[in-house]
Chain A
Amino acid sequence: DAKTTQPNSMESNEEEPVHLPCNHSTISGTDYIHWYRQLPSQGPEYVIHGLTSNVNNRMASLAIAEDRKSSTLILHRATLRDAAVYYCILRDYWDTGRRALTFGSGTRLQVQP
């Protein structure tokens, strides 16, 4: 899997937006950008994924740079429950569902009340 780079940690205040960056300068044309998060003492959970266009779902938004070398996960209003480690993972289209996810070092998000 192509390498991604994320900040080790970030802090946010409750009710404020959070922008979690991810750099992936070696992304290939068939790599999807996936975001998973892991709440304390729980298994990772899917957040969002995209290829080229920005994506929105009930949990978050994914903004993808035009050159696809970086992306940003946006939590529109952080809650205490959003405190977790967020992982940005690149997966080739044909590998998804066929090979295991590889977790690198994600971003630990702390949310202050």
Chain B
Amino acid sequence: AAGVIQSPRHLIKEKRETATLKCYPIPRHDTVYWYQQGPGQDPQFLISFYEKMQSDKGSIPDRFSAQQFSDYHSELNMSSLELGDSALYFCASSLRSPGQGHGYTFGSGTRLTVV
């Protein structure tokens, strides 16, 4: 079965550079979520999109932005990178149906290292 695809798997950037992370949700899933997980931390919700519109906003820094495109893939854009942005970034997708406990599927993540 198709899973959530994230690219790249690994990314190394220097301080003050920009980075773009991509997420391809499971086909027919209409909602995409972005999470950040720092070393030794639990995943923290950043932002989500439903039908290409921003749905919820978590602890996403102003330096970050995201969007969902017509094919439902999503991109997380990160600018003015800081050392503290080094983390695993996960994308998840779901179908916006109530009660679907198993409906959240996560990708394998992008490991961003800022040097």
Contacts and interface: CB of A to CB of B under 8 A. Distances in A.
Q: Does chain A bind chain B?
A: yes
Interface of A: 32, 34, 36, 38, 41-46, 49, 85, 87, 91, 93-106
Q: How large is the interface on B (under 10, 10 to 19, 20 to 34, 35 or more residues)?
A: 20 to 34
B102 to A, nearest CB: 4
Given A96-B97, A96-B99, A103-B44, 20 more contacts: A32-B101, A38-B43, A41-B109, A43-B4, A44-B90, A44-B92, A46-B102, A49-B101, A87-B42, A95-B98, A96-B100, A96-B103, A97-B31, A97-B103, A97-B104, A98-B31, A99-B55, A100-B48, A103-B42, A105-B42
B42 A46 contact: no
Nearest to A98: B96
B101 A42 contact: no
A28 to B, nearest CB: 14
Contacts of B45: 100-102
A45 B106 contact: yes
If over half of A's interface residues share one DSSP class (helix, strand or loop), that class is named, otherwise mixed; here it is loop
A43 B92 contact: yes
B105 interface: yes
29 contacts: A36-B104, A41-B109, A41-B111, A43-B90, A43-B106, A43-B109, A44-B92, A44-B104, A44-B106, A45-B105, A45-B106, A49-B102, A85-B42, A87-B42, A93-B98, A93-B99, A96-B99, A96-B100, A96-B103, A97-B31, A98-B31, A98-B98, A99-B55, A100-B35, A100-B48, A101-B45, A101-B104, A102-B45, A104-B42
